[in-house]
Amino acid sequence: MNEKFFRMNSLLDFYGSLLSEKQNKAAYMYYVYDCTINEISGELNISKQAVFDNLKRAENNLEDYESKLSLLKNTQKDLEQKEIKNKNLEAIFKSIDEKFLEADLAEKINELKKILLD
């Protein structure tokens, strides 16, 4: 269940503005603010069935947008690749023994570390 909440929360970040106003409000209240169906019903002045219907439509729309645009998938892939790159760079920098480098080269390597790893 938590995985679904995390996914819907992430999809809302990317595509929430594409939902209808009621779908957007209901989904944000449910997935982001952790409101119950009863609380959402009272806040939006709609029936519990209408809340449920809006949430289902929002979920389907968000998944449909993701299947067509893949923004979440591509972002996750980019983050994974960045993490791998950073681990490899850290390993390279750790293997450089700065004691044997000229001071100017050591300084440039440290600058490069800051740029690439931050």
Per-residue pLDDT tens, the chain, 118 aa: give them: 689 999 999 999 999 999 999 999 999 999 999 999 999 999 999 999 999 999 999 999 999 999 999 999 999 998 898 888 888 888 877 777 666 666 667 777 778 778 877 6
Contact 31, 54 (CB under 8 A): no
Integer Cα distance of 44 and 26 in angstroms:
8
Asked: is 2-69 a CATH 1.10.510.10 domain? The reply is no
Contact 117, 89 (CB under 8 A): yes
Integer Cα distance of 23 and 97 in angstroms:
57
CA angle 66, 83, 115 (to 5 degrees): 115
Of the CA atoms within 13 Å of residue 72, those in its CB half-sphere come to 18
Integer Cα distance of 48 and 54 in angstroms:
10
Q: What residue segments make up the domains of the chain, in order of their start?
A: 2-69, 75-117
Integer Cα distance of 59 and 4 in angstroms:
10
Integer Cα distance of 5 and 25 in angstroms:
15
pTM above 0.95, yes or no: no
